[in-house]
Chain A
Amino acid sequence: MNWRQYVKKYGLIEWPYPVRYGEEREIEADVLVLGGGIAGCWAAISAARKGLKVVLVEKGATVKSGSGGSGCDHWLNTPHPGTDVTAEEIVGWELEMTEGYCNALSRYIAARESYETLLEMEQMGGVIRDLKDEFKGAPFRDEKTKFLFAYDYKSRIHFRVRGSTFKVALHKECKRLGVKILDRVMATGLLTEGGRNGARVVGATGLHCRTGEFFIFKARAVVNGLSRHQRNWCFSTEIRGNANFRPTQIVGDGHAMSWRAGAEFTMMEKSLPTSFASGNVFQPYSHGNGINTWVPCTMVDANGKEIPWVDRDGRILKTVEERCMPAPGQRFMGERTQGYTHKRPELIPDLEERIRKGEYTLPLYADLTGMPEHERRVIWGLMVGEEGKTRVPVYIYYNEAGFDPARDLLQSYMFLGGDPMRGSVRPQDRTGGEIGDAGGLVTDWNLMTNLEGYFAAGDALFAANYHYHAAATGRYAGRKAAEYAEKTKFSPIDRKQVARERRWVYRPLENRDELEWKELNAAACRIMQNYCGEYKNEELLKLALISLRELQEQDAPRVCVDNPHKLMRTLEVYNILTCNEMIVHASMARKASSQILGFTRLDYPELDPPEWKKWILLRNEEGSIKTRDLPLDFWKPLKENYEKNR
């Protein structure tokens, strides 16, 4: 029954939870973890294992929340005893793919600790092996360990896992270790020593999204596991759930509050075209394709004619198994196909042209029927079934609706409407954070930011991505935060700062009742599409700042807030506006264009000139923007730095 049906039958409903606007709760923690996704849970667990008092604050429900909450089908980039590929080589692949715009520091930490992390996941109850021998004898299985691998059956650095078991296990472990979990609490601001911008972080504030209660957290160390910015260019006021690759409530709360406190960010100028968030796309992995979760699926055209797979040199591959084997002379293959050295096979790159010429007839289909049985079952079952969002709405429901992968061809929407994997519908539909690597917080080798006592993990870090990385960096940041907390005293929190934060949280309750938060979000996106979109120049960027401020000053106070849930959604949009400002400032600071960053400045058209191949770091110092540069390879030497700090 939806709300309307209920109202017709019984009349209007009062808000179902007690409303406690203005009531305060003060909580103390040795280590405070913001965000209860993959990174946050791992940080909490690793700090709690050191015997410290840990508090975990999560806007949703820790048992299932975050991008990896509903599942994960692969655990990537992991050196282990069964492969000779090294952590250095794995980071080398990432660096090649991103032309150096990669957080090699956090990727290296992840590569070095990913296997240990995975084994710990198993000890907690995550299923990472083929214990039931469902894939006995398959070329992607190691018979001794019963591990299953993806993408590259020779080098075996990408694990296939049953990730739908992970989050529940992490949640259980948090509880077992005595982590105090506060679900439905949105972290709203950081508290700093003396209330000063740029000072040590000594706590945080929060809002209960059901009751409206205000939280004050006092901590010796704080870990940010709050993911990244989203919905900056692109926002569908309707069909939002399917349109967002990451959960709809990931908006950049952590980025915005860190920015207000004076934390340093980089790569925020990056944006890429995407059809995600437009409202046109299909549920990820819910239709046939030959991309990540579906690799190495056979694709056919409307007449059943097979589309060839080719290796990095364009050699046509004759068997299904060859699609997962390195090319002659190739050391190993990455999960994605950018860059030549570690490129894995893919469908013929000129497919679109050949369709135009009539060689293939639309629509295309994923054809699992003729594949080796173990491949069919591992794609339709393990991969589609364990990946985030696929288990219930795709795997279980399609089966119940009668889809049989041994008899049926699943339609592909490649070259039709709304395929998320084929770039953008419109050039102004962009993302900085929806998919791939995005801008974020800069840290040292302890994963501590420039604000002392404030650590970051997972997608809160700049140029971060993937489940394995969130898990391994969360675990590392939790450890480091605990070490820091052990030798640090509590600092008094600044009551004036608390009052300011409280004011920010509750001010929307005084708003006029004229707009909904969605309209404000859509307007914020339109500003970015107009003035900070595919083409940028100084004049456009200035207009972007003017327009964003106008929206904040004139229109934000018109957003109606009926209940605590809508207050939370409204504060989210305020945070989106802050992230948009960060993006514009970062775009102003980079006075050159860049292919890899998807960054076109009409007034500085030269693409990736050598003097601009660097990180530009930005922070907000009491409202004025401070920038500094770092060389792209500031993290080197990787091995020595990691071993000195771990």
Chain B
Amino acid sequence: MSEEKIYAFPNGCTPGNPVTFDPEICNGCNLCVDACQVDVLIPNPVKGKPPLVLFPEECWYAGCCEGICPRPGAIQIHLPLPQRVRWKRKDTGEHFRVSR
């Protein structure tokens, strides 16, 4: 068993993860924080680090954050799990799902 601390956290909300950041690409410029019309994100207390998702279930999935981001790949949007759509390859009949 690991020695990791166990915290008394309340239940989170759904979706818990509408937006993720690649810390290697994001330079914490916070343009996305200011473009999000719902104000889902807050700046990271550590300068230069990716913003934090404070109000995940308020996300409208408009993609304004990624639309304004100058660094491709820094932001990824993830549709909520129950809203992932499937498709089928016509010639092989294989099934796929939007999986990010």
Does B99 count as interface, using CB distance less than 8 angstroms? yes
User: Contact at B87–A389, with CB atoms within 8 Å?
Assistant: no
User: Contact at B63–A391, with CB atoms within 8 Å?
Assistant: yes
- Nearest B residue (CB) for A184: B39
Does A530 count as interface, using CB distance less than 8 angstroms? no
User: Contact at A411–B38, with CB atoms within 8 Å?
Assistant: no
Residues of B within 8 A of A1 (CB): 21, 23, 44, 50, 52-53
Distance to closest chain A CB from B80 (angstroms) = 5
The binding surface of chain A is classed by DSSP as loop
Does B74 count as interface, using CB distance less than 8 angstroms? no
A-contacting residues, B70-100, CB 8 Å? 77, 79-80, 82-83, 85-91, 96, 98-100
Residues of B within 8 A of A69 (CB): 37, 62, 64
Q: A164, A238, A393 — which one has the most chain B CB atoms within 10 A of its CB?
A: A393
Residues of B within 8 A of A397 (CB): 77, 79, 98, 100
Does A581 count as interface, using CB distance less than 8 angstroms? no
B-contacting residues, A377-415, CB 8 Å? 388-389, 391-393, 396-398, 400-403, 407-411, 413
Distance to closest chain A CB from B64 (angstroms) = 4
When each residue 292-314 of chain A gets 1 if its CB lies under 8 Å from chain B and 0 otherwise, what string results?
00000000000010000000000
User: Contact at A241–B58, with CB atoms within 8 Å?
Assistant: yes
Residues of B within 8 A of A392 (CB): 62-63, 66-67, 77
- Nearest B residue (CB) for A411: B86
Residues of A within 8 A of B5 (CB): 8
User: Contact at B90–A248, with CB atoms within 8 Å?
Assistant: no
Q: Interface size (A, Cβ < 8 Å)?
A: 63
| Stretch from A56-64, A117-125, A269-277, A551-559 forming part of the interface with B | A56-64
User: Contact at B39–A410, with CB atoms within 8 Å?
Assistant: no
- Nearest A residue (CB) for B56: A2
Q: A60, A239, A565 — which one has the most chain B CB atoms within 10 A of its CB?
A: A239
Q: Interface size (B, Cβ < 8 Å)?
A: 55
User: Contact at B57–A64, with CB atoms within 8 Å?
Assistant: no
Residues of A within 8 A of B82 (CB): 239, 280
- Nearest A residue (CB) for B96: A402
User: Contact at B53–A3, with CB atoms within 8 Å?
Assistant: yes
Residues of B within 8 A of A400 (CB): 100
Given known contacts A16-B45, A407-B89, A409-B88, A239 and B15 CB-to-CB distance under 8 angstroms: yes
State A569–B5 Cα separation when bound (angstroms).
33
State A523–B37 Cα separation when bound (angstroms).
26
- Nearest B residue (CB) for A302: B88
State A367–B89 Cα separation when bound (angstroms).
10
Contact among A244, A287, A369, A401 with B96 in the assembled complex (CB-CB below 8 Å): A401
B-contacting residues, A242-299, CB 8 Å? 242, 244, 247-249, 280-283, 286-287
**How many A-B residue pairs lie within 8 Å, measured between CB atoms?**
173
Does A240 count as interface, using CB distance less than 8 angstroms? yes
User: Contact at B54–A408, with CB atoms within 8 Å?
Assistant: no
State A352–B62 Cα separation when bound (angstroms).
32
Does B29 count as interface, using CB distance less than 8 angstroms? no
Distance to closest chain B CB from A374 (angstroms) = 20
State A111–B13 Cα separation when bound (angstroms).
44
User: Contact at A282–B77, with CB atoms within 8 Å?
Assistant: no
User: Contact at B39–A60, with CB atoms within 8 Å?
Assistant: yes
Residues of B within 8 A of A407 (CB): 89-91
Contact among B37, B42, B83 with A283 in the assembled complex (CB-CB below 8 Å): B83
State A300–B34 Cα separation when bound (angstroms).
43
Does A365 count as interface, using CB distance less than 8 angstroms? yes
Q: B52, B56, B59, B83 — which one has the most chain A CB atoms within 10 A of its CB?
A: B83
Distance to closest chain A CB from B50 (angstroms) = 6
- Nearest B residue (CB) for A563: B54
User: Contact at B62–A389, with CB atoms within 8 Å?
Assistant: yes
State A14–B53 Cα separation when bound (angstroms).
14
When each residue 1-23 of chain A gets 1 if its CB lies under 8 Å from chain B and 0 otherwise, what string results?
11110111010011010000000
Distance to closest chain A CB from B7 (angstroms) = 6
When each residue 12-41 of chain B gets 1 if its CB lies under 8 Å from chain A and 0 otherwise, what string results?
111111100101000000000011111100
Does A70 count as interface, using CB distance less than 8 angstroms? yes
Distance to closest chain B CB from A45 (angstroms) = 19
Given known contacts A210-B39, A242-B79, A393 and B15 CB-to-CB distance under 8 angstroms: no
Residues of A within 8 A of B90 (CB): 304, 367, 369, 407-409
State A593–B79 Cα separation when bound (angstroms).
40
Residues of A within 8 A of B45 (CB): 10, 13-14, 16
- Nearest A residue (CB) for B19: A2
User: Contact at A248–B39, with CB atoms within 8 Å?
Assistant: no
Does A163 count as interface, using CB distance less than 8 angstroms? no
Given known contacts A248-B58, A389-B62, A209 and B39 CB-to-CB distance under 8 angstroms: yes
Residues of A within 8 A of B15 (CB): 238-239, 241
Residues of A within 8 A of B34 (CB): 61, 183
Does A65 count as interface, using CB distance less than 8 angstroms? yes
User: Contact at B61–A241, with CB atoms within 8 Å?
Assistant: yes
B-contacting residues, A68-93, CB 8 Å? 69-70
State A32–B87 Cα separation when bound (angstroms).
48
Distance to closest chain A CB from B32 (angstroms) = 10
Given known contacts A61-B35, A249-B37, A409-B87, A393 and B79 CB-to-CB distance under 8 angstroms: yes
Task: Show 17 A/B contacts (Cβ-Cβ < 8 Å), sorted by A.
Answer: A1-B50, A2-B12, A2-B16, A3-B53, A60-B37, A60-B39, A61-B36, A70-B62, A184-B39, A237-B57, A240-B57, A248-B38, A393-B63, A398-B98, A401-B99, A407-B90, A410-B87
Kindly list 4 other residue pairs between chains A and B, CB separation below 8 angstroms, not including A2-B56, A248-B38, A410-B87.
Answer: A210-B39, A287-B85, A392-B63, A403-B87
Binding site for A on B (CB under 8 A): 5, 7, 9, 12-18, 21, 23, 34-39, 42-45, 50, 52-64, 66-68, 77, 79-80, 82-83, 85-91, 96, 98-100
Binding site for B on A (CB under 8 A): 1-4, 6-8, 10, 13-14, 16, 60-61, 63-66, 69-70, 164, 183-184, 209-210, 237-242, 244, 247-249, 280-283, 286-287, 304, 365, 367, 369, 388-389, 391-393, 396-398, 400-403, 407-411, 413, 565
Closest 8 CB pairs of A and B: A392-B63, A60-B37, A65-B37, A64-B64, A70-B62, A238-B14, A241-B59, A241-B60
